Structure 1
Amino acid sequence: MKQKSLKPSAISLGVHATCIAAACGLWSANANAFHFDVPNPDIDMEWDNTVRADYGIRLQNPSHFYTNSPTYDEGDLSTPKFSTIQSMLNLYSEFDFKYKDTSGFRISMDAWYDPTFKNHNTSNPAFPPNYPNNEYTSYIKKYYQGPSAELRDAFVFHTFDLGGHSVNVKLGRTAVTWGQSAFATLGGANSVAIGQQPLDLMKLTQSPSASLKEIVLPTAQANVTTSITDTFSLGAQYTFEWNHDRLPEGGTYFGGADPILYGPPIASYQNIPGLGTFAIPRIAPTKGQIGDIGIDGKWRVDSIATTYEFTYRHFAMKMPWAAVLLPGAGPELFPGTNLPGVTAKYGNDVNLIGAGFNSAIGSAAVAGELSYRWNMPLNAVNTTTVNDAPTGRTLHGLLNVTQSFGKTPMWDNMFLQAEFAFNQLLSVQSNARNFANSSYDTTGQCSASGNSAFNNCSTRFWAGIGIGASPQWYQVFPGVDLTMPLFVNLNLKGYSSVIAPAAEAQGQNTFVVGLDFTIYNKHEVDITYTYYMNKKGYSTAGAATALGAPYSDKSWIGITYQTTF
């Protein structure tokens, strides 16, 4: 099937692969894929290939607020105004084999290469860098430069009848998401699908309106779905592999703080009077547990055109406490006495129950969820050690509406989608003294600062909204259709208390406008402008702090070309 294009998007770190031209005589092609011609009518084989090229350029000067901070200088100074953010060649290939539409397998591969990527970054000379000698590590070079490739999907499936009930089994590397979320930046982080798959947050950062399904990374698992009755179906998931969310790495353009997470080998520097300045290393984190379990039921009520969803999951987080202390893992001060190192910690044994629905009100599609989590990782104070991170009980909800407006004098068609999401801390279950909130913190980080957000302190409630619109005009030129994607993401209130794969901080807002040209239903050319807002200030210790992602000086424009064959 065709790889779905992220919209609006100008630079996608999604990776695609092309076909080998010499083999093209083996297929007959339709608009999107190659079908193998075989004599057996029960066999269907399809090879789908996408080629994509992305280019992005920075439109703002680096802000002194960021460049004069040891926390942000490398990510901000490495890309001057009007210089290239990325010039990525993205390649994706997927092969599907089906037998009688009941059995088969799928395999997909990704490859990418950025010929303009520099192997080094730039830091403020006043601060020692998080990358020694300002040289990027192999992790950064793999995902930001290449040439690199990786296996994505690799699974088999079989559908059979069991006692009059249809059963579908899928085994191998694949990606499954449940729930009703529309935008990964909002509902995705507050959905029953939280942590169900690792996420490509590098891609999400550059395509803010992407859905959750567009940024998931496959893992090894077993999935079973069955129709219990004509109106009730049941699904189950068990994972055999754990992998982490793929964050934008520190010291790169879309990175957050320079010390985060798998790229930079140095977390910080600490001066000890009389002994000197020591580099505090970033220690590779322990992986999360394997064996996520989930059960999902769907009940369709035809009389009111509504489907209800009920979910239970027990899982390990794919998003970590990004910076917790690992005692004794840092440099030696005296024989037998070491400074701590810094590592990441992934929460295990998180539990979730949730209920959702999707329905229609008039011509609008409406969906929503409400879920309750316990043992959920909470925002931690800066002195938290690896075994003392806080967890709690939280409530999450989302509501979204999708409406098509059809032809008017202003456009030939338009889709409008809006989503509201929230989360609420109900109680703290463990290590309350390390929860970054003035009602619990005993270190003084929040309790002595009036719960200042610039001290990395959380509120009990957070809410945000996302709105996307896409007016369309057909045949603006012969063979050319035009879409104008518009998107705004607003963090309305609060600083989320939960660890989440999104910047849930009041004032962290994103605005996107684009022009997408579809040429003869074969070629896509997208031009996108993205602008960011976020609050900035200083902690009580004088450290520069950006609430949410530090992107307020990083507006950019991107151009994408994509074709599928």
Structure 2
Amino acid sequence: MPKNRFSRINHIARFSVLLTCASATHGMELDTGNNDLIIRWDNTVRYNLGVRAEARDTALANNATYDESDYKFDRGDVVTNRLDLLSEFELAYKRDHGFRVSAAGWYDQAYADSDVETNPGNVFYPGAPSGPSTPSYAGGRYSPHTDRYHNGPSGELLDAFAFTRFYAGDAPVSLRAGRHTLYWGNGLLIPGHATSYSQAPLDGRKAVTNPGTETREIFLPLTQVSGQVQLTDRLSVAAQYFLEWEPTRAAEGGTYLASADVALEGPEQLPVAPGFAFPITDPVEPDDTGNWGVMARYGFDFLHSDISVFYREFDDYIPWGLQTGPGFARYVYAENTKLYGLSWSAGPVLGGASVGVDLSYRKDAALASSGFNPTTDEGARGDTWHLVANSLWLLPSTKFFDTGVLITEVAYSHLDRVTENQELFRGEGYDGCQNQDKDWGCATRNYAGVAVNFTPQWLTVMPGLNVSAPMSISYGVSGNAAAGGGNEDDYNFKVGIEGVFDERYELSLSYIGYGSDAIKRDVPNVGNTVVGGNGSIGIADRDWVSLSFSTAF
């Protein structure tokens, strides 16, 4: 297998090796007495303490869509007091056959009080009278789902798959079966526009808690069968077929970092007026089977590059929206979207950078919608283009730091056409967004966004101690993406300092913030209130400070 075949993967691995200086890496390899049989059992314990650093914005606190999450904690309150355990077990015979299992457990004392907090004088919609708030949870207490994932103690199975590698003639073949993830393409920081979009559900709780987390790290495993064949020294093909479907996760309504009070699986009712709510019924979800994809990659000597082509069919893991009807509300998920993708990567080039580009076309994608067709239970659909380009730099030593990593990524999307339920499309110039524009949350034909991760490092500050300063920012430069994935002036950022001692003990302190410059409008008879639907509206006043410690054994 030529080295250029995995040039970008190897280059990314260099960054991974560097960054292990900022994470706990020790584990335990069990002595089996057989050199062909390898058994590893790794455990990581993490404690995180978070404190709210920003006061409430009245535009959020006075709005029935956002008040529960805003009122749960005051400025200076502990918003997370969480202990996590990750356990990973792997058995391999001759490194070619075996299985892997991982599981997570958690407990967060900050949510020991399961009461839902509401603002008694909030506003339900522009022009409506204020009045007693009806919580999104029956009885004003968290549902079992929200209590499990935000308080605990609880846990879950993550990876659970068997793997094998063998030769079919001269062609190496690798297969996996069970719960695992695959990540195709070159997208790193902006998942809504990468070729890997909806290749797995996302852990939105992890993403919002830790801005700058790479997309592959927030993929959630699903049961599937996947394989790859190296047909020649330059050409490989791969495929996957899913046997399970689960929705993307989000911080549940009424918890600190929830985007809205009715997000996503936990809340039980939709408040529509003081003292009145619709029950949230079972969502309209796809079947477990039907998602699949194929990929081919070819390596070139030129610039140590490779080019890949993809075709995927998938049911979306992110909900289309909340459908309301006579006496009910429910989330709806779009099915049968097709994706055609092309990616190119090269590296190291341009003074040591690894670069990557994803270009994809989605056919019959779910678009931002103002409602649902009562006959089909579907919103607007359309065809969209998506482009992601990024670079990864291993930084040289300077007088300011010893080394470091810089990752930059830009994303662009374009609405080609609206193909179904055009009257429901919530876009500028369409009936679903009459007399409003992008500042009110209406989708635009074009969207552009940017994300940057910068992590300078200082090695051996004292014996056994390495220090880094991870910084990240993601910003919506222009427009509101028609198929989701970003809004103009939305942003999140993180600034931190981390120390790793003996490559085993990690201590970090971070300031994390979110915002949107276009979330408030003066509405007659209401005043300054929140309108529209931009992604960071609901947490625009939730800046917080995080202190974290972890170790591995």
Please give the TM-score of this superposition, normalised by the length of structure 2: 0.89
1:478-489 to 2 correspondence within 5 Å?
478-489=463-474
CA contact (8 A) 1:53 1:89 kept: yes
Equivalent residue letter for 1:98: A
Deviation of 1:31 (Å) = 6.2
Give the counterpart of 2:403 among 402, 408, 413. Answer: 413
Q: Aligned partners of 1:405 and 1:174: how far apart in 2?
A: 33
The partner residue of 2:114 within 119, 122, 131 is 119
The answer to whether the Cα contact below 8 Å between 1:321 and 1:499 also exists between their aligned partners in 2 is no
**What do the CA deviations read for 1:350-371 (whole angstroms, capped 9, x no partner)?**
0001101111323111111110
Alignment partner for residue 35 of structure 1, among 12, 23, 29?
A: 29
Please tell me the residue identity of whatever aligns with 2:543.
S
Matched residue type, 2:385: L
Q: Distance in 1 between matches of 2:481 and 2:323?
A: 18
Structure 1 residue 259: Cα displacement: 1.6
User: 1:148-204 CA distances to partner (integer Å, 9 max, x unpaired)?
Assistant: 011111110111111210111100011111110111xx2x21111111111100000
Call closer, same or farther: CA 1:384–1:263 in 2, change over 3 Å. farther
Report the CA distance between 1:300 and its aligned residue.
0.7
Q: 2 CA distance for matches of 1:270 and 1:510?
A: 32
Residue type of the alignment partner of 1:175: T
Which amino acid in 1 is paired with 2:89? F
Q: Which residue of 2 aligns with 1:169?
A: 175
Structure 1 residues 48 and 478: alpha-carbon distance in aligned structure 2, compared to 1, 3 A threshold: same
In structure 1, the residue matched to 2:279 is 281
4+ long deviations beyond 6 Å = none
Aligned residue in 2 for 1:521? 503
- DSSP-derived class of the 2:60 partner: helix
1:558 is matched with 546
Q: Distance in 1 between matches of 2:383 and 2:99?
A: 40
Query: In structure 2, what is the Cα distance between the partners aligned to 1:113 and 1:88?
Result: 6
How far residue 427 of structure 1 moved from its aligned partner, in angstroms, is 0.4
Q: Structure 2: which 5+ runs fail to align?
A: 1-15, 122-132
Give 1:381's aligned residue: 370
Q: Which letter maps to 1:411?
A: F
Query: For residues 138-217 of structure 1, what are the structure 2 equivalents within 5 Å?
Result: 138-183=144-189, 186=190, 188-217=191-220
Alpha-carbon distance in structure 2 between the residues aligned to 1:390 and 1:418: 32
Q: Does 1:368 align with 2:368?
A: no
CA distance, structure 2, for counterparts of residue 383 and residue 308 of structure 1: 39
| Contact 2:380 2:424 survives alignment (8 Å) | yes
C-alpha separation in 1, matches of 2:251 and 2:45: 23
Q: How far 1:33 sits from its partner (Å)? A: 1.4
1:252-263 superposed matches below 5 A: 252-263=255-266
Contact 1:324–1:384 under 8 Å retained in 2:
no
- SS of 1:481's partner is strand
Q: Which residue of 2 aligns with 1:355?
A: 342
Deviation at 1:38, TM superposition (A): 1.3
Which amino acid counterpart does residue 356 of structure 2 have in structure 1?
A
What runs of 5+ residues in structure 1 fail to find an aligned partner? 13-29, 272-276, 328-338
The offset of 1:398, in angstroms, is 0.5
- 1:540 offset after TM fit, Å? 6.6
In structure 2, which of residues 512, 515, 519 is the aligned counterpart of residue 536 of structure 1?
Answer: 519
Q: Per-residue CA shift, 1:367-423, capped at 9, x if unaligned?
A: 111100001000001466571311100000010011122211111002111000011
Q: Which amino acid aligns with 1:281?
A: P
CA-CA distance at 1:269 after TM superposition: 2.1
Instruction: Give the aligned partner of residue 19 of structure 1.
Output: none
1:277-426 correspondence to structure 2 within 5 Å: 278-289=276-287, 290-325=289-324, 327=325, 339-360=326-347, 361-362=349-350, 363-382=352-371, 385=374, 387-426=377-416
Structure 2 residue 492 is the aligned partner of structure 1 residue 492: no
Name 2:489's counterpart in structure 1: 507
Q: Hey, what does 1:429 align to over in structure 2?
A: 419
Cα contact 1:392–1:429 (8 A) shared by 2: yes
Q: Secondary structure at the match of 1:136?
A: coil
Q: Judging changes above 3 Å, is the alpha-carbon distance between structure 1 residues 270 and 31 closer, same or farther for their aligned structure 2 residues?
A: closer
> 2:179 & 2:264 partners in 1: Cα distance?
25
Structure 1 equivalent of residue 4 of structure 2: none
* CA shift digits 1:525-546 (9 cap, x unpaired): 0111112221222487866226
Report Cα offsets for 1:88-136 as digits up to 9, x if no partner: 1000101100011111000111110112312112101132221233211
Partner of 2:125: none
Within 2, Cα distance between the matches of 1:249 and 1:279? 18
Deviations 1:500-532 (A, max 9, x none): 4xxx11111122110010011110001111122
Kindly tell me: are residues 207 and 91 of structure 1, through their superposed partners in 2, closer, same or farther at Cα, counting changes over 3 Å? same
1:95 aligns with 2:89: yes
Count of aligned residue pairs for this structure pair? 516
Q: Which region of structure 1 is more displaced relative to structure 2, 237-246 or 540-549?
A: 540-549
Q: Distance in 2 between matches of 1:69 and 1:235?
A: 48
Q: Which moved more, 1:79-88 or 1:537-546?
A: 537-546
**Where does residue 80 of structure 2 map in the other structure?**
86
The answer (yes or no) to whether the contact 2:50–2:544 under 8 Å persists in 1 is yes
Secondary structure of 1:116 counterpart: helix
Query: Please, what is the CA RMSD of the aligned residues?
Result: 2.3
> Following the alignment from structure 2 to structure 1, what is the Cα–Cα distance between the partners of residues 500 and 373?
51
Output one character per residue of 1:217-275: Cα deviation in whole Å (capped at 9) or x when no partner: 1110000101010011111000000000001111111101112221111112248xxxx
Given the two structures, how large is their TM-score scaled by the length of structure 1?
0.87
- What SS does the aligned partner of 2:109 have? coil
In the aligned structure 2, how far is the partner of 1:46 from the partner of 1:119?
38
SS state of the match for residue 59, structure 2?
helix
TM-superposed deviation, 1:283: 1.4
Over the matched positions of the two proteins, sequence identity in percent amounts to 29
Q: Which deviates further from its counterpart, 230-239 or 468-477?
A: 468-477
Tell me, yes or no, if the aligned pair for 2:373 and 2:421 is still in contact at 8 Å: no
**Residues 320 and 499 of structure 1 are in contact (CA less than 8 Å); yes or no, is this contact kept in structure 2?**
no
Deviations 1:1-59 (A, max 9, x none): xxx99x99x9x9xxxxxxxxxxxxxxxxx962111111222111110111111111001
Cα distance 1:209–1:100, how it changes in 2: closer, same or farther (>3 A)?
same
Q: Residues of 2 paired with 1:539 and 1:281: CA distance?
A: 31
Which residue does 2:444 correspond to in 1? 459
Tell me how far apart the structure 1 counterparts of residues 311 and 392 of structure 2 sit (CA, whole Å): 26
Match of 1:61, as an amino acid? A
Q: Which residue does the alignment assign to 2:5?
A: none
